Structure 1
Amino acid sequence: MNGLPEIVDSLEYKLKQLLRKMEVLEKRNRELESKLSESAMVNGSQHEEIMMLKKQNETLKMANSLLGSDDNKRETKLKINSLIREIDYCIAQLSD
């Protein structure tokens, strides 16, 4: 029975250590969740910026080919044909 208080003290000490470690890990978890959220926001804004830049690039390519560049004439013709088909479809829908 002499060892029982020592065992209880040892368990109490280990329990306090575990609680401290748990608090540290919870704090670290919150920090990581915050960083993850921030990274997701940055990723989303970068994705939007990439999409906008791609659209601008396509617009510039089309404008360049309309100005007489031979590089993207085929793509421009296809885009114009596509736009004409869409206009024809809209006219047909309005006629009905």
Structure 2
Amino acid sequence: MSNIEDIVDALDKKISKVLQNNDVLKETNLKLSQEQAQYHSTIKNQELEIKAWKDKYNTLKMANTILGSDEDKRETKLKINALIREIDHCIGQLSE
């Protein structure tokens, strides 16, 4: 009988350890999931910030070309012509 009781006690201890480890792993998993969500949020914010900086860069580049920097005169002329065509197209649609 004592042998069976020893086996049951050992089994009970092992089950208890497994349950404790399971609880610890669940807590760790929850913490990691929260960190992952936080990192995803940070990444989205950084992507939005990068997009905003790219837009600002393009706006600044356009302003520099309009101001007549020698490097981008051709590009400036092309952009101005594109804007004029777009305005003409809008005026044409309003006339109809």
Q: Structure 1 length as normaliser, TM-score?
A: 0.85
| Range 49-58 or range 68-77, more displaced | 68-77
Q: CA RMSD, aligned part only? A: 1.7
Where does residue 72 of structure 1 map in the other structure?
72
Contact persistence 1:62–1:72 (CA under 8 A): no
Where does residue 9 of structure 1 map in the other structure?
9
C-alpha separation in 1, matches of 2:9 and 2:48? 58
Q: Structure 1 stretches of 5 or more lacking a match?
A: none
Contact persistence 1:65–1:73 (CA under 8 A): yes
* CA deviation vs aligned residue, 1:4-48 (integer Å, no higher than 9, x gap): 211111111111101111111111111111111111111111111
1:71 offset after TM fit, Å? Answer: 2.3
1:80 offset after TM fit, Å? Answer: 2.7
Contact persistence 1:61–1:72 (CA under 8 A): no
C-alpha separation in 2, matches of 1:20 and 1:11? 14
* CA deviation vs aligned residue, 1:53-80 (integer Å, no higher than 9, x gap): 0010011111111112122333333333
Closer, same or farther: CA 75–29 of 1 in aligned 2, 3 Å = farther
Map 1:1-96 onto structure 2 (within 5 A).
Answer: 1-96=1-96
Residue identity matched to 2:86: E
Closer, same or farther: CA 2–83 of 1 in aligned 2, 3 Å = same
Q: Structure 2 length as normaliser, TM-score?
A: 0.85
Aligned length: 96
Q: Identity across aligned pairs (percent)?
A: 47
